[in-house]
Amino acid sequence: MKHLALLTFALALYVALITAKSPYQQVLQHSRIRGRQHGPNVCALQQVQGSNKKYFTNCKQWYHRKICGKPTVITYECCPGYEKLQGEKGCPSALPLSNIYNTLGVVGATTTKMYSERAELQPEIEGPGSFTIFAPSNEAWSTLPAEILDALVSNVNIELLNALHYHMVNRRLTTEDLKHGMVVPSMYQDLNVLIHHYPNGIVTVNCARLMKADQHATNGVVHVIDRVITAVTNTIQQSIEGDDLLETLNTAVAAAGLEQVLDSEGQYTFFAPTNEAFEKINPETLNRILGDPVALKDLLNYHILKTVQCSESIVAGTPMETLQGTALEVGCDGSEMTLNGKAIITSKDHLGTNGVIHYISELLIPDSAKTLAELAEGSTVSTALDLFSQAGLSSHITGSEAVTLLAPTNDAFKDTTLRVTPEVKRLLRNHIVKEQLSSKHLYHGQVLETLGGKKLRVFVYRNAVCIENTCIAAHDKKGRYGSLFHIDKVLTPPVGTVMDVLKGDNRFSTLVGAIQRAGLTEMLNQQGTYTVFAPTNEAFSAMPRGELNKLMGNSRQLSDLLKYHIGEELLVSGGVGSYTRLKSLQGDKLELNMRNYTVNVNRVPVAEADMMATNGVVFAVSSIIQPVARTAGDEAAESIVRQDSAMRAPIQTIRPGELARRYHSSRQVRRTQ
């Protein structure tokens, strides 16, 4: 029965929400359903603790029980247009319809009602007609600055009457009629009021929130709002020009050529840096940006949203697109409006005819206006940045050169202490690519040229994008001229062919001899994309002498064995997932996985990974790799193991002396099958 009740409730909620037309009606309907257990026409509201602010909310807000990060309590009230009856449950009675003047008293806007009488507006809103009045609450009037209120009440027949007429529209407008971005002429000289109806159900008029909406009257409708609104006549640009606090911003807007945008029709939100905000920036950085029209335009566009966001429309952090193309997270913390989580907005809701201005105390510098050095500040690549500086490469990361910096994260240097020697300087030059790149546009097989003259290859795998032995560890940052890639280890460019790598390492002397006996030297010196799992001398010496001699004396069997250790595609360790298969040159597939940051091939751990060659990559292994023959039952078991990313199954160890016998035995079985 409990499940049936829940299903019935969910179905009723779904039907109610899809039939509601506007966002406001949707949250109202949600609140009505949440409150119906208390009787008919009861709405559940969330009230911010310690304040009088109440909200109809959607499902997400209901379960979070927070508004602007502050806890809420649930209160139950009569839904708009209904009232209680003594002795009855809920709010069964519709409010009796009366004229607007009387309705102001019913909905608690008694101060507006009083001022209507004093301004001799009462006969108009008692008489015939069809009006909409946005009535400031009693609290809204009480918080009006004393000098403004005094000016209104000292001249009730003109100033106060004009102010009240500006709160009125000469036709009936319910929340269903109040569309986002709508402009409606008021009854004061036809000056417009600006309507915004947000997806979260909040409706504003000149950035004042509708607290009690759709209170119907015989001659119109009353909406109670949370502040007294004033006429808007200036554009955003005109407002900036007329404010001494925005003098530096005004100069910057002119230099960037944005005056026409901010003076034209539109729906913008401008987070306007004050003079103080500009003064906080390093003078060298500020002068560079102010002297660069492209960077300056990007910087200013990063402060401008494509939509109007009044402060009262924000109940939680939300990413919003800027004219620059990237997003700002606009949020709130209690009564404070926040940007990217910081409470830097000092003055809110300065309305213009084409948007709204919020004053901010810090300049927001987008990545697209930064140098490489500025992109790296405060990030996880500070060690690499210090090394580039010590190596005398600062000009490449602070200037206007189009480059991409491949910067190893600080973790890449945990077990290594690098001193800037000539060799290290050459290595660091190969971490700077000669063009500005975006990781989104990298493709498999792409070749990048470094300042050091090396050619670096790009490998795109299902789970990673890698450049030689290193993989991109985080989203790249694209600056004014250069891009910053965070990479997971120090990059080592290829130094020769696979045979050169093997010959240059004494651990592989036996393997080099075996390759020569098998006639594979030429292949491993030619162009290719090989992944070589190279057994060390230790791996060969672990074999019984007789077995080893027999193997070395049979070039065909030796060739087959060695080809089983060579993958036909180039795979670096960053491309190995929880289960990866790689076809060998011998024809069978090798099975790889990453466990505790170690690559395993056919359950043999790799001793050293990612020794890069111009025609492949070498992995050192301390055992000869055993081909695994499987039955149908083995395959089923392996399928289960593959689903376990931790790979808890024990590793099977095989005596190296048995390797040749098992290998040839398994090959013979496959031939007879």
Q: Residue 645: what pLDDT?
A: 37
Report pLDDT for 414. 81
- Distance separating alpha carbons of residues 18 and 168, to the nearest angstrom: 32
Closest CA to 76 of 34, 49, 44: 44
pLDDT digits (tens, 9 = 90+) for 196-235: 999 999 999 999 999 999 999 999 999 999 999 999 999 9
Are 437 and 404 within 8 A, CB to CB?
A: yes
Q: How many Cα neighbours within 13 Å face the side chain of 632?
A: 0
Query: Is the full-model pTM beyond 0.85?
Result: no
How far apart, in Å, are the Cα atoms of 303 and each of 29, 345, 364?
36, 12, 7
Q: How many CB atoms lie within 10 A of CB 67?
A: 23
Token pair for 602 = 């056919």
Instruction: Give the pLDDT score at 413.
Output: 87
What does the pLDDT look like over 172-204, one tens digit per residue? 999 999 999 999 999 999 999 999 999 999 999
Instruction: Give the residue from 132, 188, 113 showing the smallest Cα distance to 158.
Output: 188
Model pLDDT, residue 668: 42
Partners of 458 in beta bridges: 467
pLDDT at 632: 53
As a whole number of angstroms, the distance between CA 548 and CA 558 comes to: 10
3-state DSSP assignment of residue 267 = coil
Tally of CA atoms within 13 A in the half-sphere of 401 that contains its CB: 15
Neighbours of 349 (CB within 10 A): 18
CA atoms within 13 A on the CB side of 132: 21
Say if residues 354 and 288 touch (Cβ distance below 8 Å): no
Q: How far apart are CA 35 and CA 18, in angstroms?
A: 19
Within the chain, which residues score under 50 in pLDDT?
Answer: 1-18, 631, 633-634, 637, 640-673
How far is 6 from 120, CA to CA, in rounded Å? 54
3-state secondary structure of 618: strand
Cα end-to-end span (Å), the chain:
61
Residue 347 to residue 350: CA distance in whole angstroms: 8
